[in-house]
Amino acid sequence: MGSLGWEETVRKAEKLVEEAMKENDASHDAAHVWRVRDLALSLAREEGLSSNSDSMQIIEVAALLHDIGDYKYLRDPSEEKIVENFLDEEGIEETKKMKIITIIKGMGFKDELAGTNNDFPPEFGVVQDADRLDAIGAIGIARCFTFGGSRNRVLHDPKILPRCDLSKENYMKKDEQTTVNHFHEKLLKLKALMKTKAGQKRAERRHKFMEEFLVEFYEEWDGRA
The number of distinct structural domains making up the chain is 1
Q: What end-to-end distance do the CA atoms of the chain give, in Å?
A: 59
pLDDT digits (tens, 9 = 90+) for 117-175: 566 788 999 999 999 999 999 999 999 999 999 999 999 999 999 987 766 566 556 66
Whole-number Å distance between alpha carbons of 149 and 224: 25
Residue 117: predicted pLDDT: 53
Angle made by CA atoms 40, 45, 50, in degrees to the nearest 5? 105
CATH number at residue 118: 1.10.3210.50
The pLDDT of residue 66 is 95
Q: How far apart are CA 110 and CA 128, in angstroms?
A: 13
DSSP 8-state assignment for residue 51: T
Domain that includes residue 7, residue range? 3-221
